[in-house]
Amino acid sequence: MIRLLGRFEVHVNGVPVAADSWRSRRAADLVKILALDPSQSVHREQVMDLLWPELSEEAAAANLRKAVHYARRALGAEEAIRSESGLLTLWDGGADVDATHFLAAADAALAANDQRQCAEAVALYGGELLPNDRYEPWAEEARQRIRSRWLALLKAAHMWQQALDVDPTDEQSHRELMLAHLNAGQRRDAIRQFERLREVLREHIGVAPDKETIALYQQVLAMDGDEPVLPEQRAAVLIATGLVHLNRQEFDQAERLARQALEIATDHELPHEVGDASTLLGLVASQTGRWYDTFRAAFVSSLHQNPQLAMATYDANLCMAEYHITGAVPGTDPVTYASELLSLAESANSLVGQGIAQFMIGESHLLAGRYPEAHTWLERALRTNRGTGIASGLCLTLERLAQTELALSQVDKASQLLDQARHIADTSPMRSHLLVRLLGVHLEATAQTPHSQFEVQRSEQTLTDMRKTCEPCSINFHVRAATITAHTGDLPRSRRHVNHAERIAGLWQGGPCTAAVWEARAALRAAEGHNDQAAALLREAAHEYGRAGRFPDEQRCRDRLQPMHATPVAP
C-alpha cells in the first residue's frame, strides 16, 4: 500500500518501509512518480526528463539506474519495479495507492451527483498530495487534479466553509454561506461573508463578484436590523456593480459608479474603499486611453486628503502606473509627467504627493537606463517617504533603489536595501503586492550565483505559503524565475513560469510586459535547443523594449542575439 495523501508512506506485505530505507531521495521520487500514474507505468525517458532535465541523456540514464536499484532495495524486491521495453512499472501495475482510490471514489460520487456519496468520498481524502514535494514540477499536474476533485466534492457535499479553506476565491461557496446567514436572520454574518469575498477578489485586478452575489448582498443590506447600512457597505455595492459593467465594457456606467463610490469613501475617510474605487476608475481610464489625465486629477484631489487616503489613491493605481509610466504608451514622457505632479505636490505642501512624484521620476530614469539620475531621485524619494511613514511608498522606493544598485553592480548594497524592504512588506497591508515584487528583484540579484535555482524554489515556497498574491505585480518574478530555471536546465519549472507570465501579460496590450515574456520564452527556447525561435523572440523583444524607451533591456536582448549568429536588428 502506498500513501501519497498527507504524507509519503509505503507498506509492503503490511509492514511499513522505514524512512531511513530511502537512502536515495530520487529513489523515493521514482516510486512517487510511478504511483501517481494511473497505469503505474512511465517510460524511462519521461522519468529522466522529470527528475534530471538539466543532465545529458547519458548522465540522466546513469542516475535512473541508481534510483531504480535503491528503490528496489527499499521495497525489498527486484520485481517491485520492472523495466521492460523502456517502461518502468511499479508492482506490475497492481500497487494499492490511496490517491487512486480517492480519485475513483470522487469521480463516482460526482457522476452520481449524490450529496451523501460525495460526503463519504470526502472522508477518503487524507490530506494534501505529497506535502514535502509541494514545489516539484513532476507532482504539479496530479496535485491540481486531486485538489480540483477535493474542491468539487466539498461543494457537492455542501461543505461550503471547507471549500473556502481550499479555494478562498470560490464565489459559490461565499454566496451559499451568505444565503445561510440570511435565512438564519444573521445579517451581520452575511455582510462579513461578502466582505471576505471582496477581500480575496481584491488581489485579482478587475475581478468582481457576479450579479447574483451582488443582488444577494443588496438583499442582506435591506434586512431589518439594529444597524443602518454603513457608508463602506454602500460603496461596496457600487464598486462591485461597477466592476460588472467594466467587464462588459460598459465604461460610462462603470465610471459613474466608481465616482459615486469614491465620493462616499472620501467623505467618510475610508482608505480601503478609496483604493477599490480608485482601482475601478483607473481601470476604466486605462481601457479608454485616459489614464494619464484621470490619474493626474485623482493625484491633485489626493493632495488635500489625509496621508492614508492620498497613498491609497496611488496604491490603487500601482499596477496601472507601472504599465503606463514604464513606456507601454509611447508619446508621453514619464519624467515630464511626474515632474508636473511634483510641482503640484510642492505647491500643495503635500509630503505624500512629493514622495510619490519623486519615486515616479526616479523609476522613469531607472527604466530608461539613466542610473545616476535614478539614484539621485530615488534617494530623495526615500528621504521623503521615510518622513511620511507610509509603508508602501517606502517599500516601493527601496525596491527600485535596489534595482538601481544592481544596475550599477552594487550587489551588496542592493541586498541590504531588499532586506529593509522585506521587513516593511511583511507587515504591510499591501504585502500581496509588495513581497512578490521584492522577490523578483531578489532573483535578479542572485541570477548569476550558483544557488540561483535554490532561490527560485525558496521564493516559490514563500509565495505559496502566502496564498494571496497580486497577479500584475508578479510578472517580473515569473520572468526572472523562468529565465533562471531555463539556464539551470529545469525546463518544466521554466515552462510553468513562462506560462504564468504570459497569462499576466495578457492583461495589458503590448509594451514592456509582453517584451519581458518574449525574452523569457527566448531563454526557454534556447535551452530546448531551438536557437532560431529564440533569436526571433529576442528580436521581437528588443524592438518592443526600444519602442517603449527601455534601452538597457533592448540592448540586453541584442547582446544575447550575438552568440546565436542571428541577424541583428537595425538600431
Contact 428, 394 (CB under 8 A): no
CB 59 within 8 A of CB 75: no
Residue 450's nearest CA partner among 415, 495, 488 is 488
Asked if residue 185 is part of any domain, the answer here is: yes
> Cα angle at 43 between 39 and 47, to 5 degrees?
105
State the Rg of the chain over Cα: 27
182 and 283 share a domain? yes
* pLDDT of the residue at 205: 62
83 and 120, same domain (yes or no): no
Q: Check residue 331 and give its pLDDT.
A: 62
Same domain, 331 and 220: no
Percentage of the residues of the chain whose pLDDT score is greater than 70:
96
567 confidence band (pLDDT: 50, 70, 90):
very low
CB atoms within 10 A of CB 465: 8
Average pLDDT of the residues in 449-478: 90
Is residue 307 domain-shared with residue 420, that is, in the same domain?
yes
148-152, 291-295, 385-389 — which one is most confidently predicted on average? Answer: 148-152
115 and 79 share one domain: no
User: The dihedral of CA 70, 71, 75, 78: what is its sign?
Assistant: negative
Domain-ending residue, one of 124, 140, 167 = 167
Please identify which residue in the block is written with the cell numbers 513562462.
Answer: 498
CB 388 within 8 A of CB 352: yes
* Domain presence at residue 507: no
- Of 442, 434, 358, give the one whose Cα is nearest residue 391: 434
Coil vs helix vs strand at 106: helix
The CATH number that applies at residue 338 is 1.25.40.10
Q: What is the dihedral of CA 498, 504, 510, 513, to 10 degrees?
A: -60
State whether 323 and 215 are in the same domain.
no
Based on the fold, state whether residues 376 and 297 are members of the same structural domain.
Answer: yes
Q: Is the pLDDT of residue 399 over 80?
A: yes
37 lies in some domain: yes
Q: Give the whole-angstrom CA distance, residue 57 versus residue 65.
A: 12
Mean pLDDT of 87-103: 95
- Provide mean pLDDT across the span 55-80: 94
Lookup: cell for 81: 519495479
Q: Are the CB atoms for 167 and 152 separated by under 8 Å?
A: no
- Asked if pLDDT for residue 324 goes beyond 60, the answer is yes
- Secondary structure class of 204 (helix, strand, coil): coil
Of the residues 66, 93, 120, which one is the last residue of a structural domain? 93
Least confident of 79-88, 289-298, 463-472: 463-472
> Could you say which of 74, 93, 112 is where a domain stops?
93
Q: Is residue 555 part of a domain?
A: no
- Count other Cβ atoms within 10 Å, centred on residue 21: 16
> Which tens digit of pLDDT belongs to each residue from 325-383?
766 666 678 999 999 999 999 999 999 999 999 999 999 999 999 999 999 999 999 99
Residue 306: helix, strand or coil by DSSP? coil
Which range is least confidently modeled, 47-56, 84-93, 369-378? 47-56
| Residue 510 confidence (pLDDT) above 90 | no
Residue 52 sits in the same domain as residue 121: no
Find the CATH number of the domain harbouring 56: 1.10.10.10
Q: Is residue 387 part of a domain?
A: yes
Residue 506's pLDDT is 84
User: Which range marks the domain in which residue 88 is found?
Assistant: 2-93
> Could you tell me the CA-to-CA distances from 95 to 73, 75, 142, 454 in Å, in that order?
17, 12, 17, 33
- Judge contact between 223 and 187, C-beta under 8 A: yes
9 and 68 together in one domain = yes
Residue type, 516: A
Q: How confident is the model at residue 565 (pLDDT cuts 50, 70, 90)?
A: low
Residue 30 resides in a domain: yes
Residues 175 and 251 occupy one common structural domain: yes
In a domain, 551, yes or no: no
Q: Are residues 302 and 283 in the same domain?
A: no
In this structure, is residue 258 part of a structural domain? yes
User: Which residues fall within 8 angstroms of residue 262, CB to CB, at 6 or more apart?
Assistant: 274, 277, 278, 281
Mean pLDDT of the chain: 91
Per-residue pLDDT, 507? 75
Residue 272 contacts by C-beta under 8 Å, 6 or more apart in sequence?
Answer: 232, 265, 312
Task: Report the CATH number that the domain containing residue 274 is assigned in CATH.
Answer: 1.25.40
Torsion angles phi and psi, residue 89, rounded to 5: -125, 135
Q: Is 317 helix (H, G, I), strand (E, B) or coil?
A: coil
Q: Is 154 in the same domain as 201?
A: no
Q: Tens digit of pLDDT for each residue in 341-353?
A: 999 999 999 999 9
- Structural domain total, the chain: 4
